[in-house]
Amino acid sequence: MAVTPHSLSMPVAPETSFVDSIDPATNEVLARFQATRTSDFPGIFQRARQAQKEWAARLLAQRCAALFRLRDAIYSRRDDIADAISRETGKPRVEAIFAEVLLALDTTHFLARQAPRWLRAERVPHHNLALKAKSGWTEFHPHGVVAIISPWNYPFSIPVAQLVPALVTGNAVLLKPSELTPGTGLLIGELVEQAKFPPGLVQILQGAGELGAAIINAGPDKVFFTGSVATGRRIAEACGRKLIPSVLELGGKDAMIVLADANLEIASSAAVWGGFTNCGQACLSVERIYVEQTVAERFINLCVEKTRKLRVGPASDPDVEIGPMIRLRQLEIVEEQLHEAVDRGAEILTGGNRRPDLGSNYFQPTVVTRVNHSMQLMRDETFGPVIAIQTVASADEAVALANDSPFGLGASVWTGDSRRGAEIASRIRAGSVMVNDVASYYGICEAPHGGPGASGWGHTHSRLGLLEMVQVKYIDVDRLPGIAKSWWFGYTAELAAAAGSLVESLFAPSWKNRFSALANKRGARGVIFRRDRI
């Protein structure tokens, strides 16, 4: 996630009275929403905690039934949702449907059906012979009140993909949408109400970065944040001071490796879509491409040709493929990176300029070559409609360059040999690597999402994401409750010798020594059948 979506300030700044919803295509104020007052937090948290206790006490089947109602509510208002997303983000309607509405529906439907399997208590077998008299299992319990601080670039699908597992596991949710997309956040609250979740269980808190700081200061039981690295660091520090667990998704600088045997027509189309979808404002955007020398010229020409065909304009035009950037400041960051790269020898083959004829936030999709890792364009997250292509001599060089980044969210490998592609994928430092596709794993409910390094920690999606919403409890029942334990007090030299024999009976390299120790009445058996305990 780029640097502008959230600006978390520490300590809390004075409260803001209103939050404006602005159309990035025209900079017109679409609506104005009253900001949440931090003075209201005691009541907000009290309602959340009371609702959570009652909600967690319900049967899991009842919570799943509520998810099905939420799914139906989303479906019934799918056109309203797509309209709201396009208005506030500027993304084309096709992207609002595919990457937001469809993903939210699928996530909600999937977890409503899958949660009973994934949350079922799990038996824990005991391998140690000395502990066979015990029976153990794990249970999954809600954290309590979780805070979700969500971004603007996917203002519906990202928060819903975190809201749904939080609810089905029995938590209450305080959702702070981005101050850039407050209308979509309010719509999520309306859908929750339409699905008849208990009052107070999900509350939408509107405001800028200082509100996010206040939420953490108020002490939720866990925090989920999607946004910039700089803000993520401040959130981690604030959570650390209060020992609040967190999940941070802080974006990426995703690499795409194109090998000489790849289908260049398909790979180039994937590069153009992966680099420019949502105007390049996606944490999984293709930002760095490493292509083998022997096919580089053909691949680059295809990317340039396809980029020049893209239609730029407002989301109100159904044929538009590239909308505006969210705000002028984000466009300026892209320009700064391009200017610095050109000064260092990069070459812009197409694009690279604003489109003032369309509005202040429009920027041409851009293809850049002759790049290297001395340039900010190859090191820092761009979060704009730019793909940078570097020629490499071999797959090994491509892997080394792909791994030369503090980010590690996603990557892709393109080759005609799927087995080789999988082998290369395993060498790339990233949370997810696709072979012959890009970014679409995010729409796979069973696939985990998250990455190492500057991309954050923890997971969303998949069972790993569901388990981020619970506390794991281990329960152990002794099946011989009338027998005192051998390791209890009443220590003697004989007990120490017997304990040593027990260790020998379990771990001696020689089976002969193990059997001998086990047969020794004053040894291992003396521990198991010991009677002189306090």
Positions marked active-site: 249, 283
Say if strands 286-292 and 347-350 run parallel, antiparallel, or are unpaired: unpaired
Query: What is the identity of the amino acid at 253?
Result: K
Which residues, in sequence order, are CB contacts of 389 under 8 Å at separation 6+? Answer: 289, 291, 296, 299, 300, 303, 367, 368, 369, 371
Please tell me the distance from the alpha carbon of residue 531 to that of residue 2, in angstroms, as a whole number.
Answer: 67
Please tell me the distance from the alpha carbon of residue 203 to that of residue 414, in angstroms, as a whole number.
Answer: 44
By the 8 A CB rule, do 112 and 168 touch? yes
Nearest C-alpha neighbor of 150 from the set 214, 71, 204, 69:
204
Which residues, in sequence order, are CB contacts of 43 under 8 Å at separation 6+? Answer: none
**How far is the CA of 366 from the CAs of 2, 41, 53, 348, in angstroms?**
18, 45, 52, 7
Please tell me the distance from the alpha carbon of residue 517 to that of residue 509, in angstroms, as a whole number.
Answer: 12
Question: Helix 229-242 crosses helix 209-217 at what angle (to 10 degrees)?
Answer: 20
